[in-house]
Each structure stands twice: as structure tokens, then as C-alpha cells.
Amino acid sequence: MKIIRFIAGVLVTAAAISAQAQDAVSLRLNWYLGGLHVPYYYGKDMGFFKAEGIDLTINEGRGSANTVQVVAAGSDTFGMADSSSLITTAAKGADIKSVMSLLNSTGFSVVSLASSGIKTPKDLEGKSLAVSPGDPLGQLFRAMAAANKLNIDSIKFVQVDPAAKVVAVLEKRVDALLGGVDDQFFLIKYKGVEPAALRYADHGANIVGMTIMTSGATIKGKPDLVRRFVRASVKSWAEARKNPGAAVDAAMKAKPDLNRQSTLDQMMVDFDLMDSANSKGKIGMGAKADWDQTLTLLKQYRDLDTKEPWTTFHTNEFVPQ
């Protein structure tokens, strides 16, 4: 009996030590839970992060710019943000860096109702577009406009709160919105209306899309944690791509009111955006050509002031080789 009690005590102690060994880590998303975020909920549900010694908390976001700021401040360990928000903030001195080039093509698009007849960039002349203050979509739209020789003065930009863009298009208060092909496109579709989209990436204005970032302090002080987090992230995305339906089901445990089909459709688009012409290959790996082009466009159209190379803003060192 004493031996049994001793063994039981050892097992309890071992379990306690194992629990203590889990690093508490938080991931701040760029926005409310949608298709783009599903792989992380799936990875957590499947125990991929736990297997790497990580106790993961996922927090919804309020825009990429805000996510960059809270991660730079140390409020969250990792964050998901578009490359333009990351780079422009880091160039101003924020101690932040991408450790995964998650989507190497941007989902930024002009989203409209198919009935509007907007099929080419030239069709945007004379139209009104919903844009939100401070987001990169409006500024980078100018890159697409320049690439397609549009008369940008003929286009009316209407300032709209992010959450109200879709409503503005549905109510025909504007002709289109600047948003995501993996986001607002499907919000319109699942209102029973056929949407259309012009992707920036298809019309001369591709930049690196979504990144996973952390602070320089975390990279320097806890490189093994970063490596484990990236490894679990890569597995989460790979397995979600193999089992998309199961992945969405895992996300719906966290948010049961999600539109399942819309969320699934969004995620399938994000899978397509993971690669660019330059970066086909490993999940999370960034290509010099993509990051260099991103810097060039941001300097031209977002007033980026930096002489730093792309490696200042992104590293591939933690992506499994």
C-alpha cells in the first residue's frame, strides 16, 4: 500500500512539474475571429502548442496597427498583423519583427457587388469607395491606381468605420469598399448578394500580406520559445489545410455563432494567399523579392522612411528548415 501511495505521489508531482513547464503565451489576432485565424484554434484544440510546451491564449484584435503596438509593448507575446503595419511601426523605432511570413500575397482588394459592373481597375474611375481612417488599404490603393494609370482624382473616398463598410456597399451608399478578399467579400456573399473583387496583388500592387511577429526582446531573450511557437504554428497551418472542416469546427468551439461556411470559405482563400510567385515552399518562409517589393511600395505610397534592409523587419531563422 505504501509503495502504491509513493508511486501515486510521484505521478502527481511529475504532472505538476509538467504543467509548470508550459510557457504561458498569448497571440493577439489582427481582428475578430475569422477564417484567417482558424488554424490557431485548430492547433490549440489538437494539442500542437501543448506538445511544444506552450499554454496558448488567443486574443481577438482590433486592427493590425493596434496589434503591432500591444505586442511591441509586451502586452501579448506574439501578434498577427499585415506587413505594412509592422514595417511602418518598426521603422519608427518599435522593437518588433516578423518571425513568420504567413501570407506572402496580400488579400487587399476592392470589393463590390457584382451588379456594380466593376471588373477592371479602369472601371473604378468615377466611383465611390469606402475606406477606414488610418488603415493601409487606402494608401496602397494608390499603388494599384498608379500601376493601372487611373485618374485617382475622379474616385471619391468615403471615410467609414471598418465594421460599417459592408453595410455601406449593401445599401449602395458607396460603389465598393477597400477590404479583404478573405473577409468582406464573404460577408457580402453570405448576405445573399453576389460580390466581386479586384485584388491588389493581381493588378500590380502585391505586398507581403499577414505576418506573425514578436518583440525583439522576446527574440533575444527567449529564442527557443519563438522557435517552438513557430514550429507549432507551421504544424497548425499544415494540418488545417489537410482538414479544413475539422479546423473550422475547432474554431466554432470558441465562437459558436460563426457562420461555418463563410469561415471555411475565408480560410480556403487564405491558403491560396500563403504563396507568392517568389515564395512557394515552406509555410512561414519569406522571400527577399517579396519583402523588397513591399518596402519599395511602402516608401512610395505610405511615406515609409527607412534605409534598413528587409531583414530588419523579418527573419526566417525560426521557420523549420
At 51, list the grid cell.
506538445
Name the residue with cell 490603393: 141
Which set of grid coordinates corresponds to residue 275?
A: 504563396
pLDDT of residue 14: 41
What are 297's three cell numbers? Answer: 511600395
Predicted local distance difference test score (pLDDT) of residue 99: 98
Which amino acid belongs to residue 151? Answer: N
Query: Shortest CA distance to 111 belongs to which of 163, 65, 161, 170?
Result: 170
Q: How far apart are CA 276 and CA 241, in angstroms?
A: 17
pLDDT of residue 3: 52
- Write the pLDDT tens digit of every residue in 181-204: 998 999 999 999 999 999 999 999
Per-residue pLDDT, 4: 53
- What integer pLDDT is reported at residue 5 of this predicted model? 56
Residue 165, all three cell numbers: 463598410
CATH for the stretch 108-203: 3.40.190.10
* Residue type at position 96: I
Q: Name residues of the chain where pLDDT drops below 50.
A: 2, 6, 8, 10-19
- The helix/strand/coil state of 246 is helix
The domains spanning 2-105+209-312 and 108-203 adopt the same CATH topology: yes
Map out the domains of the chain as residue ranges.
Answer: 2-105+209-312, 108-203
Please give the full DSSP string across 123-147, using - where no structure is assigned.
GGTT-EEEE-TT-HHHHHHHHHHHH
Q: Select from 3.40.190.10, 3.40.50.2020, 3.40.50.410, 1.10.10.10 the CATH code of 2-105+209-312.
A: 3.40.190.10
